[in-house]
Structure 1
Amino acid sequence: MPRTALIVIDMLNTYEHEDAEVLVPSVREALPGITALLKHARASESPVVYVNDNFGEWRSHHGEILRAALAGRHKDLVEPVAPDENSLFVVKARHSIFFETPLAYLLGQLETERLVLCGQVTEQCVLYSALDAHIRHFGVVVVADAVAHIDADLAEAALRMMSRNMSAHICEVDDVAFDA
């Protein structure tokens, strides 16, 4: 099996944006799947990489981002998925986890060939990240019960697009295998 990394997208969130109230219920539904993936990846010693927006604070590092998210309105959505001491962290500024970030280099150093994507938002950051992973020749797994959406119809369409156009394997948490 190729070396697999779990990529946690934008889960350290302050939920202080215009779509937050629509997003929060979906995050609550995805949270058990995300925590299960974190547990499985960590138990198998697979790399866990958090890729997160910087909230427009260009001086931010992961500690500041985590503190801001924990101080936000929905810290109950952040605490269960907080990075541990072995987690890796990449700050992003746009939708894709790859756009002008060092992620591709990091994954190369880790000899990663396959990415398991979870987090938010399915029809935005997850979709664009899956496309960028695909064009970089990574195997892509999107865990449907571990991604959150703003618009359910667009999320379903995004999952179909990732499967059909990007050869992404769309599955449930119980179907994900990490390195042994």
Structure 2
Amino acid sequence: MAPSALIVIDMLNSYEHQDAEALVPSVRDALPGMGALLKRARAEDSPVVYVNDNFGRWRSHHGEILQSALSGRHRDLVEPIAPDEDALFVVKARHSIFFETPLAYLLGQLEVRRVVLCGQVTEQCVLYSALDAHIRHYDVVVPVDAVAHIDPALAKAALRMMEQNMSALLCTSDAVTFADHTTA
């Protein structure tokens, strides 16, 4: 049984989009927290699932998405959190990690009841994913130092909504455990 899974949202990114320059500094700030979460989840044998946008490339697969991100302007933001050989991968086309993806089925097969969300963008994909996880009765944890934003004010409001309206646990990455989730 895997009580918790780490979900890495949209971090395989070439940063060639309209909001990239506003996003990049926040991603840099969030990388250490994401790296710590990845290390801990892997050490505790918890599933790590990358859920990533396909950027409209309907014939792409995870290897192509990763290579495109590594070939982009900010390879340094991708390399530290790149998937290892044990990572699972789900392609998405919209904001939520659950919308028309097999993620809920995968988490069910893994017997996951709690998702730890990290990645980007706090006020968009992380927010919508937290809502969809909540309505599917998953416990949601959002380490605030492991999510990146475009707009700091909207990110703050999104985190407040996740905590207040979705019962998400907000904490720091160092407070998260995976195997036994009686703590964060």
- TM-score bin (small chain): over 0.9
The root-mean-square deviation of aligned C-alpha atoms, in Å, is 1.1
SS state at 1:117 partner = strand
Q: Establish whether residue 113 from structure 1 lines up as the match of residue 113 from structure 2.
A: yes
Q: Deviations over 1:9-67 (max 9, x none)?
A: 00000100000000000000000000000000000000000000001100110000000
SS state at 1:27 partner = helix
Which consecutive unaligned segments of at least 5 residues does structure 1 have? Answer: none
Which residue matches 2:66? 66
Q: Establish whether residue 33 from structure 1 lines up as the match of residue 33 from structure 2.
A: yes
Letter in 1 for 2:87: S
Mapped partners of 2:174, 2:66: distance in 1: 28
Mapped partners of 2:72, 2:59: distance in 1: 19
Q: Establish whether residue 142 from structure 1 lines up as the match of residue 115 from structure 2.
A: no
Residue pair 2:2, 2:47 contacting (<8 A) in 1 also: no
Letter in 2 for 1:15: Y
**TM-score normalised over the length of structure 1:** 0.99
Residue pair 2:2, 2:110 contacting (<8 A) in 1 also: no
Residue pair 2:2, 2:46 contacting (<8 A) in 1 also: no
Which residue matches 1:130? 130
Which residue matches 2:96? 96
Which residue matches 1:75? 75
SS state at 1:145 partner = helix
**Residue-pair matches, total:** 180
Mapped partners of 2:99, 2:78: distance in 1: 24
Which residue matches 1:173? 173
Which residue matches 1:53? 53
